[in-house]
Structure 1
Amino acid sequence: MTTDLLIPDHAHNMRILGHSDQGGRADGIQVMVSGGYAYVGHVFSNGFSVIDVRDPKAPKCVKHIPQPGNTWSQHVQTHGDILIVNNMRNMLDAHEYYKGSIGNKIDVVALEKDFAAGIRVYDIADRANPREIGFLEIPGLGVHRVYWDGGDWAYLSALPPGFTDDILMIVDFRNPAKPQVVSQLWLPGMNKAAGETQSWHPDRRYALHHAIVKGDLACGAWRDGGVTLIDVADRYNPKILSHDNLCPPFAGHTHNTLPLPGRGLMFVVEEALFDHCGDGVKRNWVYDIREPGNPVTISSTPIPDDADYVAKGGQFGPHNVHENRSEGYQSEGLMFVSYQNAGVRVFDISDPFRPDEVAACVPPAPKKLMDPTPNRPLVIDTVDVFVDKQGLVYATDMNAGLYIMEMEGL
């Protein structure tokens, strides 16, 4: 690791402690940290990597575990001694993937089965050596993302045959070696096999990115379809309590919906998709959800302005938020957001009507690109963030590997 990789382009109340190129597979999407090891899903390099982060100043890649060919496995979940990895068809053409409903453009039944679709389950009792113990096959395009924070139930977004795009599937996870789907839920208009017709513009993509679940409340992010609050007390029969969509007039593509149950709030992140804000300015929103049947937006976070990030190149805007996982740092006041070419941003929402940015760290440009797309700019693309119980911040990049950061006073 060269020292210049530890010198940020911009920092406020944060510093970089360490960096890993993930064994030469520097593309990373979701990161989870458990027992001194980070698990990073890849989007270009296939599979996932295991990184020893017990010394945050000198992280070491110890293993790469490939997945079947032509298969995305960019999203991971850990709790205790279990790791879950998504499997879905590789969908690298972003314009094809993000504009309009995938199920209207691809016949998922007729797809050549040259990829894996479902979730793989690993035993990580030996943290450095994950051992596969189960696979749940999901017919269709596969599983995009999973939410599981321990317990009996896992929540998947997946595109099965007959639907326009990804829907919610609830999985009985009491036996991790043999998970079973017990129910499905979708927005009205998505079940074309049942004769439903969509009411949204064909360029909009109504699809569940994922749902974050706290207790019996699931908050769903439906990309251009907005947000839903879902009662999952009966996992066999989930019910939508409310549906709100700010798109249009705002730019859409809701990506994260984090409930903050102690305060009756929800923190919502929209994903920036195209360079130079080509798909509009994306925002983070604060919702009042004290009445789950009537969620109300009450504020948005300030947009980083310490540099001209629109002109910088690449994608400028939020992507993911640290999801207050039970084995990580938990706060209903500080929101840690990956901001693509603007690094990691920390927002204080103690006053939910006036959020304030209180810390930031923008790593330097990568030495080279992992992204094979022609003519990509050589800039960072910080896509995920995880904060451990000690307050260390782990941020992944599409091209630059894993950064470990520290926030002052945390």
Structure 2
Amino acid sequence: MDASLVRELVPAVIGVLVRRGADFAAAEDAVQEALIRAYEVWPHDPPRDPKAWLISAAWRKFLDAVRADAARRGRELTVDAEPPEGPVPAADDTLRLYFLCAHPTLSQPAAVALTLRAVGGLTTRQIAAAHLVPEATMAQRISRAKRRLSGVPLDAPGDLATVLRVLYLVFNEGYGGDVDLAAEAIRLARQLAALSDEPEAAGLLALMLLHHARRSSRTGAGGRLVPLAEQDRSLWDTAMIAEGVTVLQAALGRDRLGDYQAQAAIAALHADARSAAETDWPQIVEWYDELLALTGSPIVRLNRAVAVGEADGARAGLTALAEVDPGLPRYAAARAYLLERAGDLRGAATGYAEAAGAATSVAERDHLTREAARLRHAAQA
């Protein structure tokens, strides 16, 4: 049985049931029941049309559940009969299902979990393992999210920005357990980009591809963090980079620039450089200017200051950094980096030590601690 095919069919099947009258929670439960049956039947009796089979089986499960529930006996169903076997209409509800799972009434953790379950087709156990939480905790989170969506129509207007943000959150959570969330986010982003006419959907896909292409070079032995400038670029996935650049160019050609496209353009310039020394920093600064105009983000202003330091010299970077809130995460690390480039080794060592104390991960803390120790030693030499 092709598990990847099943996962691709899940959102479309849920969407069909919701469109026929089932609420989201009931539809999702019915599809999960149908999937269990499919895993029992398909290995020895594969269907001619897997999607039609799943829709029929899930609709039967849904009708059985409604009829068995005394509280729902009086409910009017949009269709009160089993749908006929045969080809399924071409309408695709997957995009609307994305919007439903990223509904503004849901918290971000709930939206991420529900997207992985309903659109990604992952099991509750897999999602829990990827997030390093007990399965019971994740089950409660998903159940609460489904209850909150009870009665929300599938055709309600959706917010693409929310959908994209949820997918980017999934991507940035990386991987854990037996589920690679970064790869899963790319799979879903491909699907969304194919369904959507918005260039920002393609921009997010390009950004994911360009970042993911460098994944194998980001850590060394024992999980040691490797900064971009020190990464072994021969380990980068050139095919994935080429795909990301192609997707990005098509998106930029639509002339509707968004922040994911701008971020992807910066990532593409890093990927295009054969070495850190050959990076086109002036053009990266220009893209940060575009990104800052789009978002006004303090984090973007921080990253721009570092890029200015690379393009125009460390002193120019420190001047740009003076306009940034010192309370921002990684401000101390950015300032330490620019101080080192400016020749202030003692100031840089102090900055790296301060940044290590505020690090959000063990790998980052260890890296910053090593940088502080290296500069202390260099300053004393």
Alignment TM-score > 0.5, same fold = no
Provide TM-score, normalisation by structure 2. Answer: 0.28
Rg (Cα) greater in structure: 2
| Higher strand proportion | 1
Provide TM-score, normalisation by structure 1. Answer: 0.27
- Higher relative contact order at CA 8 Å, sep ≥6: structure 1 or structure 2? 1
